[in-house]
Amino acid sequence: MTNAAFATACEGFIDGSIDLDTATIKAAFVRGYTFVSSHRFVSDVTGAGGTLNGTSAALSGKSVTNGVFDAAATSASTSASAVNHGVLLFQSSAVAGGSDVAASAQRVIAYLDSGTGLPIQPGTGTTNITWDTGASKIFKVATA
């Protein structure tokens, strides 16, 4: 079980190449993937055996407060009913937002595969993603 931000995402938060407020952030169901902290792009995840099975629209209602990232619940249209899916959070656009860029330029942010309802076996059709309502929301950047 992982539930972790990619080290490269932490780098992106610092150098400005990932912007949770402005860029288009999406979530995707992924199966067959083992978390590797150094992965940088969605193409790294799929190149390591991960299969995306449904991607959400751009997350709405995003907020970043006191190191905590949150957004409204969302959904994805899934095409396969298979076990052990985690959720991949990624920046699908350039930093300034806009249209999706190629998977080889889409920055991975976090991988969630444990917690209430995870891993998940989505059926075919629309599968809802409801974020944690606790203190950490979608994820929290740890502070001392």
- φ/ψ of 120, rounded to 5, equals -120, 150
**98: domain range?**
4-140
Is the pLDDT at 117 greater than 90? The verdict is: no
Is the pLDDT at 76 greater than 60? The verdict is: yes
Provide the strand spans (E) within 16-143: 25-31, 51-55, 63-65, 68-70, 74-78, 85-91, 93-94, 97-100, 107-112, 125-129, 139-140
**Measured CA distances, 87 to 7, 15, 90, 117 (Å):** 17, 25, 10, 11
**For the chain, percent of residues with pLDDT exceeding 90:** 69
**Two tokens at 11?**
């780098």
- Overall domain count for the chain: 1
**Res 118: pLDDT:** 83
Mean predicted confidence (pLDDT) in 37-60 = 96
**Res 143: pLDDT:** 62
